[in-house]
Structure 1
């Protein structure tokens, strides 16, 4: 099921982003993070789309994709996307991985799915407060030790990248 739409390339802080229009986002299987494959101006890509905290989604374009599609901020781009079940491993914060190693949880960490790891990443990074960040790492280790594979009581429909959001809402 391909979802086809046009959108403008925007910059928020140092992030080049594409907002997915609400009518297109509604076709995704979740209000939370979704992994997609797509075609952007004729170039294939595979990336997670993040919730915008208002019922829709957005995603960051990496530098290579921006170069490949030869676009600039403000340009309208044509996209065709579809959700996929093939989640790749996220880049986890170094302090979290040190805590995983120190707690003897590396084997447990390797057992959980990439999608579950994305949930842990989103849980940990959804604060700017250093003490809250550290506390979330401790909670994650504790839950993993107990056998939990995902954070509980976590609103998956909020934007968790603090550089581009405020109170879980993508900046305008």
Structure 2
């Protein structure tokens, strides 16, 4: 991808209604007009600054043809912001998509199928990102397990891209930004 101009916008930093135990992260939703300038509707890695403090992150699709950004407590503290504040953001798509971390269950399944692992290693980083996203977007443990098994079967058969997966969540409504605390 060619060098892209920074995308600048202001957004409200939100607190998730269910952050998880011991978690103090926040999030913000990108304006749709900003999100449309990104290279893909699915997960997209970016480099950016929040109130001038640099970060690298992977934006998640919000299911409404935009993206959302998880903001760690460390970044909030460094920038001197907290949920409820309006924040200035600058983003640039990452020059190259970093290799996504492989979930343990998928790693183990690939290790037990040499044919699936060979296809996996021969795909692009973006394709691997979509496979991982498809597995991780399962809402139930048994659905996730079935997706891991199906991924290995499809990869072993030489399929390099996960079929029938809407990585934006828009058509399937499988993905969304967290619900904000009221």
What TM-score range do you get, normalising by the shorter chain? 0.7 to 0.9
Separation in 1 of the partners of 2:51 and 2:174? Answer: 32
Which residue of the partner structure matches residue 69 of structure 1? 79
TM-score, with length taken from structure 2: 0.80
- Of residues 147, 155, 168 in structure 1, which corresponds to 2:175? 168
- How far apart in 1 are the matches of 2:69 and 2:78? 17
Match of 2:43 among 14, 33, 41: 33
The 5 Å alignment of 1:68-107 reads: 68-104=78-114, 105-107=116-118
Summarize the Cα distance change of 1:66–1:91 in structure 2 as closer, same or farther, 3 Å threshold. farther
Distance change in 2, residues 1:64/1:113 (3 Å): farther
Unmatched tracts of structure 2, length 5 or more? 20-24
Aligned residues: 166
Shift of 1:63: 4.0
- CA deviations on 1:72-122 (whole Å, 9 max, x unpaired) are 111221011122341112222211111111122444433333222211111
TM-score, normalised to structure 1, is: 0.84
The answer (yes or no) to whether the contact 2:60–2:67 under 8 Å persists in 1 is: yes
Q: What does 1:55-66 align with in structure 2 at a 5 Å threshold?
A: 55-66=65-76
What's 1:143 paired with?
A: 154
Deviation at 1:138, TM superposition (A): 0.8
Deviation at 1:46, TM superposition (A): 1.8
CA RMSD across the alignment: 2.1
Tell me how far 1:167 sits from its aligned partner. 4.2
How far does residue 62 in structure 1 lie from its aligned partner after superposition?
Answer: 3.2
Which has the larger displacement, 113-122 or 136-145?
Answer: 113-122
Change (3 A) 1:67 1:115: farther
